[in-house]
Amino acid sequence: MTKFFPISQPSITEREIGYVSDAVRSGWVSSLGKYIEQFETGFARYCGAAHALATSNGTTALHLALATLGIKANDEVIVPNFSFVATANAVVYTGATPVLVDVDERTYCIDPASVSSAITSRTRAIIPVHIYGHPADMDAIRELAARHRMFVIEDAAEAHGAECRGRRVGALGDCGVFSFYGNKIITSGEGGMITTNDKELYVKARYLRDHAMSPARRYWHTELGYNYRMTNLQAALGLAQLERIDEMVAHRRRVMEWYRQGLGERPNLRLNIEEPWAKSVFWMVCVSIEGMTDQSREGFMAALRAAGVDSRPYFYPIGDMPMYARADTAVTQRISQAGVNLPSYFDLTENDVSQICAVVRGVLDEMRFA
């Protein structure tokens, strides 16, 4: 095979190039400019949220959301143990403690029952993660949050356009947080966004994002703020991508369907599921293989790479990492070592996916798991 399939690549068209060139030429290269406003307004509308605030990346969006909600030392924030590490790191930045809980066997999203048993008198917030593009069960989470007076911050970094019972993610909690890193559903290079229906939260987050400078008195700061702004250049790229998001999401769903055709019939192999109440945007194609371990997965991924197919291991349990306390989460421990992500991006064709599936089938035939 001559072609190499990367795990991910952005789709850049003349629209992106045109907007970014225009932003550079305009001289508005920092964090003022028309693209910021258009990107924020357009993204809020897309999510069905009243407000959106652009940030420098998804991690700063998470931290800013937590800081805006007043999360601080001695507070506890419930986070799924199966996520990208930034979800927990952002909690630590505030001085609060992330409490790592288990995930649902089917969706890999936070398990409401595990949340329930982790709630203490110090719990202030919960961060459901819409992992690999599938929404968490927001109805169950919202109900728990209401009963125990906890804030809900959706980590939608991987799930732009996903839906929970017909409603887009991002406006289903107190606020939503998105990432526009190069491998996400849409990209601005680096970038993030907070979405919310809460005007007060939005105004406070905007103020903290801009060094907490007094609106009435320049260079006067009444509290500790941050510079978490997005540049107009990034927003130009982001806006061009946002204008194409429907076709991007539709294509990811098509790619998933092609993978189902190529691999769906294999015994001992499982692909992403989609709950009847959910619309997933399939950010990553997830292949779980019965009997695969962290060690045998290395060989599997090396064999794929040698045949021209890039892959990634699933996320490791956050609590397994040195800076976190180990968490007792049986589902997370089991699923995290049993799977890999396969290439999924806008420019993949049906023929590409069928080639990739042939490689995967060939490697599986040679290797024995379980």
Residue 296 to residue 272: CA distance in whole angstroms: 21
If one asks whether residue 192 binds ligand PLP (CB under 6 A), the answer comes out as yes
- Closest to ligand PLP by CB, 36 vs 263, is 36
- Closest to ligand PLP by CB, 16 vs 155, is 155
If one asks whether residue 79 binds ligand PLP (CB under 6 A), the answer comes out as no
- From the list 55-63, 68-76, 91-99, 231-239, the region that binds ligand PLP by CB under 6 A is 55-63
- From the list 25-33, 53-61, 339-347, 351-359, the region that binds ligand PLP by CB under 6 A is 53-61
Whole-Å CA distances, 27 to 20, 24, 138: 11, 6, 42
- Closest to ligand PLP by CB, 20 vs 86, is 86
Which residues, 6+ apart, have CB-to-CB distance to 334 below 8 Å? none
Residue 4 to residue 214: CA distance in whole angstroms: 52
If one asks whether residue 158 binds ligand PLP (CB under 6 A), the answer comes out as yes
- Closest to ligand PLP by CB, 57 vs 114, is 57
If one asks whether residue 228 binds ligand PLP (CB under 6 A), the answer comes out as no
If one asks whether residue 154 binds ligand PLP (CB under 6 A), the answer comes out as no
Closest separation in Å from C-beta 96 to ligand PLP: 17
Q: Which of 120, 110, 72, 121 is CA-nearest to residue 92?
A: 72
Which residues, 6+ apart, have CB-to-CB distance to 172 below 8 Å? 138, 142, 152, 154, 164
From 5, 35, 108, 181, residue interacting with ligand PLP (rule: CB under 6 A): 181
Structure tokens at 17: 């190039």
Structure tokens at 237: 């790229």
If one asks whether residue 83 binds ligand PLP (CB under 6 A), the answer comes out as yes
The count of other CB atoms within 10 Å of the CB of residue 140 is 16
Closest separation in Å from C-beta 158 to ligand PLP: 5
Closest separation in Å from C-beta 59 to ligand PLP: 3
Closest separation in Å from C-beta 281 to ligand PLP: 12
Binding mask 90-129 for ligand PLP (x = CB under 6 A): ---------------------------------------x
- Closest to ligand PLP by CB, 83 vs 336, is 83
Structure tokens at 209: 């994002």
Q: Judge contact between 144 and 170, C-beta under 8 A.
A: no
- From the list 69-77, 81-89, 209-217, 358-366, the region that binds ligand PLP by CB under 6 A is 81-89
Residue 353 to residue 312: CA distance in whole angstroms: 16
- Closest to ligand PLP by CB, 54 vs 263, is 54
If one asks whether residue 329 binds ligand PLP (CB under 6 A), the answer comes out as no
Q: Judge contact between 109 and 64, C-beta under 8 A.
A: no
From 84, 258, 314, 346, residue interacting with ligand PLP (rule: CB under 6 A): 84
Which residues, 6+ apart, have CB-to-CB distance to 107 below 8 Å? 131, 134, 135, 136, 137, 273, 275, 278
Binding mask 160-179 for ligand PLP (x = CB under 6 A): -------------------x
The site for ligand PLP, by CB under 6 A, has a size of: 14
Residue 311 to residue 301: CA distance in whole angstroms: 6
- From the list 66-74, 151-159, 193-201, 207-215, the region that binds ligand PLP by CB under 6 A is 151-159
Q: Where are the beta strands (DSSP E) in the chain?
A: 51-55, 76-80, 97-101, 123-126, 151-155, 163-164, 167-168, 175-179, 192-196, 269-271, 278-279, 285-289, 312-313, 339-342
DSSP 81-139: SSS-THHHHHHHHTT-EEEEE-B-TTT-SB-HHHHHHH--TTEEEE--B-GGGPPP-HH
- Which residues are at the interface with ligand PLP (CB under 6 A)? 57-59, 83-84, 86-87, 129, 155, 157-158, 179, 181, 192
